[in-house]
């Protein structure tokens, strides 16, 4: 059953990544969708692991035919996700209702998740019946997950489209079915037919990919998957529109870039060097060259975006990239600034802080980095999404959290009202006299469609200019930071309030007030464990659920902090996830070679819970010391976390054959269910509501409580 267990891990991780990317596009790239989808996948996998009699060992052929069913269901599932918006009758550019979005996630992940949980249960039971150990089965599945995660990363960085990755996943599942179920000449005949159909599919996919994309974008010009999202370019008449994960990124007829560039550039008497951090292709570069800076460093995190737009946008739109004064740098903006020179002007054109990935460009730590690379009288400028006339209380708090983070690092800042707030900051006083900017505008003989002397005077003299700064300064809110990404949380609440209006009144807790909900959470945990401690079967399920919860929450914490510290390069994130999976393999493989008796289960499990507590304590120390998490450090922490979770899985699996066969269903389901709760609670409450440090302290408390319960 080694092949089957490896294939379960491989197809589960690769298939999960493919489906999550498709759901992110269909549901407009809202990061909450990833969290809900991960929780749904774990839920359905847990349900699959619990299906059927606990002690019945299935036939080997049944496992093979289940892989055949997966290969048929999976690709249909991908097409279903792409067609779902049309099926639901949604208008282009509008959100589906929240219940419909939840239904989409549940329906889309149901067949694949259920089959994966059932396949591990059956494969592990057969492996145990053949004399193997449950921990070894878990280790083999984890190695399959390592290869599947690494394969997904390599496929995307090699430019392979998501639909092609889905087809590769289908092919691997089909070949597993052939190797398990077919023998002799029958295997050769069926194998030859399968290989022919699989190869023929690669000639069909280049037509199928744009065809299915046109279901939602009839004016499609081109579509391309990148490591950071799906880019879709459409055209109607002379207007080109770029979507990223189906969210409008920019369109060529917009004047939005004018306000940011000119109001920032006119604040400077002289401009030599400029850094444009993202957004250059949406018009920032076009407007900036009107001020004739000596050198422009355009930093773009997604090289696929430049390649796609360079091929399809008109020549007059892309010639700016070839100017001698423009240098294109393909890098993460935070990583770039760490070794960059000083600039007269830094323009932040990154997406709004509506996700954990984008929030890191609007934190106090990032503003401090920008200040270090500005000239003494340099200007930092960026936009925040707003509304023209009326701000909700949640929008005020969201924007104020970024404003206060900025004010902690810059002694002078000014906010200009509009559909997007234009924020300028500097170590020196920022000009607020409109005549200064008007004089420079006329001196430089700039021709624009929106920005003009009357427009500039209007911005600085209307009532909203003074009222907006008063609202921002008077708001009582936690400054946005890497450790406490509060702006991202407000974005989630604003999004949820579109469907659940009462969510607009929910406010995060101050870190000082977090002790009460944490004590309540730990009390419930201890009470449940105390009630279940006398029954061996339920006690093991409880311990495994607690380990799954702590492991998933800790993994989320480390990944988020690494993302804030070192960038959002998908390749590195893939390496980190693989480090966790390798830890799962090492923990399960190591314990499988020990003779773990019933009497040693509790003390051995306590050791592994101690590992979780130690990792959480080390992570807390890094937060308190403001240490950045490098790739090596984060990988070690994730490896240790994975090893601890797998070790607990192994010791709760028992040593008897009958007990291990039951555990293949119940313990594995508890692991997945605990991970489901950890992903949901950690990402939606612990981290955004309370912050990273209280979340890490909670996990220390969970590990100590588990050790106490095991000792009892």
Domain ranges of the chain: 1-213, 254-481, 509-712
Banded model confidence at residue 599, pLDDT cuts 50, 70, 90: very low
d(CA 121, CA 115): 10
State the CATH class of domain 254-481: alpha beta
35-39, Cβ contacts within 8 angstroms, sequence gap of 24 or more = 35/679, 35/680, 35/683, 35/684, 36/102, 36/105, 36/680, 37/105, 37/109, 38/676, 38/679, 39/676, 39/677, 39/679, 39/680
Per-residue confidence (pLDDT) for residue 207, from 0 to 100: 93
Banded model confidence at residue 431, pLDDT cuts 50, 70, 90: very high
pLDDT per residue over 333-360, tens digit each? 988 998 898 999 999 999 888 777 788 8
Question: Mean of the pLDDT values across residues 232-240?
Answer: 91
Question: pLDDT: is 515 or 315 the higher one?
Answer: 315
Question: Mean of the pLDDT values across residues 249-261?
Answer: 88
d(CA 445, CA 499): 48
Judge whether residue 211 has pLDDT over 80: yes
Range from 5-14, 481-490, 551-560, 618-627 carrying the lowest mean pLDDT: 481-490
Per-residue confidence (pLDDT) for residue 365, from 0 to 100: 92
d(CA 666, CA 497): 37
Average per-residue pLDDT for the chain: 83
Q: How many CB atoms lie within 10 A of CB 659?
A: 21
Four-way CATH pick for 509-712: 3.40.50.10800, 3.40.50.300, 1.20.1250.20, 1.20.1420.20: 1.20.1250.20
Q: What dihedral do alpha carbons 332, 337, 341, 343 form, nearest 10°?
A: 100
Question: Mean of the pLDDT values across residues 569-594?
Answer: 73
Range from 286-290, 338-342, 577-581 carrying the lowest mean pLDDT: 577-581
Cα separation values, 135 from 7, 8, 127, 129, Å: 17, 15, 11, 13
pLDDT per residue over 651-665, tens digit each? 776 655 556 666 667
Question: Mean of the pLDDT values across residues 52-56?
Answer: 68
Judge whether residue 141 has pLDDT over 50: yes
d(CA 628, CA 571): 18
DSSP, residue by residue, 605-661:
HHHHHHHHHHHHHHHHHHHHTT----HHHHHHHHHHHHHHHHHHHHHHT-SSHHHHH
Per-residue confidence (pLDDT) for residue 503, from 0 to 100: 65
Judge whether residue 590 has pLDDT over 60: yes
Question: pLDDT: is 634 or 188 the higher one?
Answer: 634
Distance of CA 580 to the CA centre of its chain: 16
Burial class of residue 594 (count of CB atoms within 10 Å of its CB; 0-12, 13-18, 19+):
middle
Q: Which of 152-156, 172-176, 344-348, 418-422 has the highest mean pLDDT?
A: 344-348
Sheet with 229-236, strands from edge to edge, namely: 220-226, 229-236, 239-244, 247-251
Judge whether residue 598 has pLDDT over 50: no
Encoded tokens for 523: 């009390």
pLDDT > 90 fraction of the chain, expressed in percent and rounded: 27
- CB within 8 A of 505, min separation 6: which ones? none
Judge whether residue 569 has pLDDT over 70: no
Q: Can 254-481 and 509-712 be said to share one CATH topology?
A: no
- CB within 8 A of 73, min separation 6: which ones? 111, 112, 115
Per-residue confidence (pLDDT) for residue 576, from 0 to 100: 74
Question: Mean of the pLDDT values across residues 457-472?
Answer: 86
Question: Mean of the pLDDT values across residues 231-242?
Answer: 91
Sole residue written with tokens 């302290």: 697
d(CA 685, CA 602): 31
Question: Mean of the pLDDT values across residues 469-490?
Answer: 83
Encoded tokens for 426: 């500097």
DSSP, residue by residue, 149-166:
HHHHHHHHHTT--HHHHH
Banded model confidence at residue 596, pLDDT cuts 50, 70, 90: very low
Per-residue confidence (pLDDT) for residue 659, from 0 to 100: 62
Q: Which of 482-491, 613-622, 695-704 has the highest mean pLDDT?
A: 613-622
Per-residue confidence (pLDDT) for residue 396, from 0 to 100: 87
Distance of CA 394 to the CA centre of its chain: 23
For 1-213, CATH gives 1.20.1250
Question: Mean of the pLDDT values across residues 319-334?
Answer: 90
CB 212 within 8 A of CB 78: no
CB 82 within 8 A of CB 202: no
pLDDT > 70 fraction of the chain, expressed in percent and rounded: 88
pTM: 0.82
Closest CA to 382 of 348, 417, 410: 348
Question: Mean of the pLDDT values across residues 553-570?
Answer: 71
CB 511 within 8 A of CB 504: no
Question: Mean of the pLDDT values across residues 378-396?
Answer: 85
- CB within 8 A of 528, min separation 6: which ones? 542
Banded model confidence at residue 121, pLDDT cuts 50, 70, 90: confident
Per-residue confidence (pLDDT) for residue 428, from 0 to 100: 93
Question: pLDDT: is 533 or 235 the higher one?
Answer: 235
């Amino acid at each position: 059953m080694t092949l089957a267990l490896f294939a379960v891990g491989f197809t589960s991780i690769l298939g999960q990544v493919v489906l999550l990317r498709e759901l992110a596009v269909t549901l407009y790239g809202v990061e909450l969708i990833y969290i809900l989808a991960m929780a749904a996948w774990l839920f359905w996998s847990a349900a699959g692991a619990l299906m059927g009699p606990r002690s019945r060992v299935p036939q080997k052929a049944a496992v093979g035919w289940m892989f055949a069913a997966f290969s048929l269901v999976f690709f249909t599932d991908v097409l279903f996700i792409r067609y779902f918006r049309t099926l639901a009758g949604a208008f282009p550019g509008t959100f589906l209702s929240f219940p419909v979005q939840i239904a989409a996630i549940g329906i889309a992940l149901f067949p694949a998740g259920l089959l994966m949980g059932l396949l591990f249960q059956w494969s592990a039971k057969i492996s145990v019946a053949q004399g193997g150990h449950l921990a070894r089965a878990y280790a083999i599945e984890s190695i399959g997950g390592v290869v599947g995660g690494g394969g997904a990363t390599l496929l995307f960085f090699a430019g392979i489209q998501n639909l092609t990755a889905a087809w590769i996943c289908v092919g691997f599942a089909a070949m597993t079915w052939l190797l398990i179920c077919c023998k002799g000449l029958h295997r050769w005949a069926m194998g030859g037919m399968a290989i022919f159909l699989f190869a023929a599919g690669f000639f069909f996919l280049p037509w199928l990919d744009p065809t299915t994309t046109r279901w939602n974008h009839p004016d499609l010009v081109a579509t391309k998957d990148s490591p950071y999202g799906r880019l879709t370019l459409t055209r109607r008449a002379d207007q080109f529109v770029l979507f990223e994960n189906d969210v409008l990124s920019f369109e060529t007829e917009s004047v939005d870039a004018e306000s940011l560039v000119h109001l920032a550039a006119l604040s400077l008497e002289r401009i030599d060097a400029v850094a444009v951090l993202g957004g250059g292709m949406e018009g920032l570069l076009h407007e900036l060259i009107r001020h004739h800076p000596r050198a422009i460093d355009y930093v773009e995190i997604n090289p696929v975006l430049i390649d796609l737009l360079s091929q399809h946008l008109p020549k007059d739109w892309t010639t700016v990239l070839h100017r001698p004064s423009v240098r294109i740098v393909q890098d993460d903006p935070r990583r770039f600034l760490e070794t960059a020179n000083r600039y007269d002007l830094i323009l932040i054109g990154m997406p709004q802080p509506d996700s954990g990935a984008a929030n890191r460009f609007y934190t106090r730590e990032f503003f401090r980095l920008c200040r270090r690379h500005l000239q003494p009288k340099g200007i930092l400028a960026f936009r925040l999404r707003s509304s023209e006339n009326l701000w909700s209380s949640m929008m005020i708090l969201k924007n104020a959290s970024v404003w206060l983070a900025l004010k902690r690092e810059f002694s002078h800042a000014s906010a200009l009202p509009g559909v997007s707030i234009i924020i300028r900051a500097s170590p020196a006083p920022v000009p607020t006299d409109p005549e200064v900017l008007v004089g420079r505008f006329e001196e430089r003989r700039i021709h624009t469609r929106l920005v003009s002397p009357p427009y500039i005077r209007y911005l600085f003299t209307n009532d909203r200019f003074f009222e907006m700064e008063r609202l921002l300064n008077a708001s009582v809110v936690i400054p946005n930071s890497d450790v406490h990404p509060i702006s991202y949380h407000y974005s989630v609440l604003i999004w949820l309030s579109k469907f659940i209006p009462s969510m607009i009144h929910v406010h995060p807790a101050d870190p000082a007030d977090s002790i009460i909900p944490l004590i309540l959470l730990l009390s419930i945990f201890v009470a449940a464990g105390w009630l279940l401690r006398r029954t061996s079967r339920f006690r093991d399920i409880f311990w495994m659920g607690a380990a799954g919860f702590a492991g998933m929450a800790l993994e989320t914490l480390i990944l988020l902090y690494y993302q804030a510290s070192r960038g959002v390069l998908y390749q590195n994130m893939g390496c980190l996830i693989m480090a966790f999976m390798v830890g799962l393999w090492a923990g399960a493989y190591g314990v499988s070679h020990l003779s773990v008796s019933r009497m040693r289960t509790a003390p051995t499990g306590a050791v592994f819970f101690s590992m979780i507590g130690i990792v959480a304590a080390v992570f807390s120390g890094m937060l308190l010391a403001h240490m950045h998490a490098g790739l090596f450090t984060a990988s070690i922490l994730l490896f240790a976390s994975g090893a601890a979770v797998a070790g607990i899985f192994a010791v709760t699996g028992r040593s008897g054959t009958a007990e291990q066969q039951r555990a293949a269903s119940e313990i594995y389901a508890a692991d997945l269910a605990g991970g489901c709760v950890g992903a949901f609670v950690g990402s939606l409450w612990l981290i955004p509501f309370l912050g990273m440090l209280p979340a890490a302290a909670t996990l220390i408390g969970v590990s100590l409580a588990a050790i106490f319960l095991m000792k009892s």
